[in-house]
Structure 1
Amino acid sequence: MVINKPLLTVLRAGRLSYTAGLQLQQQLAKQKNTDFTEFRNFLLLLEHDPVYTIGIRTKGYTSEDEQRLRQLGAEFHRTDRGGLITFHGPGQLVAYPILNLRQFKLTMRCYVSTLEQTVIETCRQLGVLNATTTSDTGIWVGDKKICAIGVHGSRYVTTHGIGLNCSTDLSWFEHIVPCGIEGKGVTSLSEQLGRQVSVADAAAALLNSLSKKFDCQLQEKQQERVTN
């Protein structure tokens, strides 16, 4: 018996401002289909211009902090994702899965766990064998975070996602307490492997891992206008 797997359309959006990326996520997520089986799932892959984002918990960050960070040359945005403050910028693979979890038969908790395992497997494929989860959010190599995870779910539809440091300029993180976790640092695939790892390299590994962990079919599309 042939079992139809969920279909996931991959959109490579290149480098976008955070605002443009958020607008594209919202466009993809707000589909008018009332039957969840007709929902079109997307994986949005991109890099952001330098930006600091805060999740629904804004612990310790004031308007003065916002002004300070903007003066560094980065944007600053408050969002509805989980988690605290983080940085996105060039050299970081940002992946936003826009999924209807009912098609994948996943709860939100299981979705986050599967996303974590996808990133861990991605790191292993690229040669970072000790990436793992801890009691803190994200994916870690020792006491350094290599990938931030912050997601949002509404009516079974997911938005936001992950930021995997490939060749990111890690000095941007020195101006914040990444994800609100004191005493720990950040790292990248390039730093761990001692060689340049591009966003394209990481994206290829991520797609391979994601298709297995989420047991889905992938189809590639160029960035497109999505209407309903």
Structure 2
Amino acid sequence: MEIEIEDWGRTRYADATQRQLDRVQQRRDNEIGDLLIFTEHEPVYTIGRRRDARQNLLLSEELLAAKGFDLAETSRGGDITYHGPGQLVGYAILSLEHRKDLHRYLRDIEQVLINALGVLGLAAARREGKTGIWLQDRKIAAIGIAVTRWISYHGFALNVSPDLAHFSGIVPCGIAPTDGSVTSLQQELADLCPPMDEVKAVIAAEFQSIFG
């Protein structure tokens, strides 16, 4: 089955969340098929459902507002993370009715990213006891999923060329400095970093391979 791709360009997080929920309802009503959405968000810190996730925010809400950053509570799993320009966010609106296995679904999302990064020249992997996708102790992609009545939403965030300094406003995904750091394709590949459109095409192909 062909996975439809929608590219929303640059979005504010709250607007994209509402658009996602609209797509979830359309998928539930069988008005659309399975869908992968690409976007880049305006700078925002998002807080997942993990208990005490908010304590990993290191900046006051007043300072965030002064910097022009949004702060959003979210229905996805996981801790706190940053989204912003140069980071590719993928929202997967899929019917899981035929599998009903969230662990397998999460592993499949991870495999899409591992495969895509391999195509792009990086040997990424899972890391025991940690979420997301890693290059040894450097986290390059975050994953946070949600499911309602076996329709998935939220998804992944891959650091292509974001301003990594913006991660200093949080303890990203609860990673202590002794546990690792955050990285990007730009930081790892320098002048060989592919353009965003190429990254999207590779991920779309790998997504289709696993979920199509």
Query: Contact 1:69–1:175 at 8 Å: present in 2 too?
Result: no
Structure 1 position 100 matched with structure 2 position 95: yes
Deviation of residue 56 (structure 1)? Answer: 0.8
Structure 1 position 198 matched with structure 2 position 211: no
Counterparts of 2:208 and 2:146 in 1: how far apart (Å)? 21
Q: 17, 32, 44: which one pairs with 1:22?
A: 17
Higher alpha-carbon Rg: 1
Cα offsets for 1:48-92 (capped at 9, x unmatched): 111110001243157973333333321110001001110011111
Consecutive unaligned residues in structure 1, runs of 5 or more = 1-5, 217-228
Counterparts of 2:120 and 2:41 in 1: how far apart (Å)? 22
Give percent identity, aligned residues only. Answer: 37
Deviation of residue 144 (structure 1)? Answer: 1.2
Counterparts of 1:179 and 1:55 in 2: how far apart (Å)? 9
User: What is residue 119 of structure 2 aligned with on the other side?
Assistant: 125
User: Aligned-residue CA RMSD in angstroms?
Assistant: 2.0
User: What is residue 42 of structure 2 aligned with on the other side?
Assistant: 49
Q: Which amino acid aligns with 2:204?
A: L
Cα offsets for 1:143-202 (capped at 9, x unmatched): 111001001011111111111000111000011100012122100011111223322121
Counterparts of 2:56 and 2:190 in 1: how far apart (Å)? 34
| Secondary structure, counterpart of 2:68 in structure 1 | coil
Q: Which amino acid aligns with 1:54?
A: I
Structure 1 position 172 matched with structure 2 position 170: no
User: What is residue 83 of structure 1 aligned with on the other side?
Assistant: 78
| Secondary structure, counterpart of 1:82 in structure 2 | coil
> Number of residue pairs matched?
206
Counterparts of 1:64 and 1:175 in 2: how far apart (Å)? 6
Consecutive unaligned residues in structure 2, runs of 5 or more = none
Query: Contact 2:35–2:92 at 8 Å: present in 1 too?
Result: yes
| Secondary structure, counterpart of 1:133 in structure 2 | strand
Pair 33,160 (structure 1): closer, same or farther in 2 beyond 3 Å: closer
Deviation of residue 32 (structure 1)? Answer: 7.5
Counterparts of 1:63 and 1:181 in 2: how far apart (Å)? 13
Counterparts of 1:48 and 1:84 in 2: how far apart (Å)? 18
User: What is residue 226 of structure 1 aligned with on the other side?
Assistant: none
Counterparts of 2:164 and 2:116 in 1: how far apart (Å)? 20
Pair 62,93 (structure 1): closer, same or farther in 2 beyond 3 Å: closer
TM-score of the aligned structures, taking structure 1 as reference length: 0.84
Query: Contact 2:49–2:77 at 8 Å: present in 1 too?
Result: yes
Structure 1 position 210 matched with structure 2 position 207: yes
Counterparts of 2:27 and 2:93 in 1: how far apart (Å)? 14
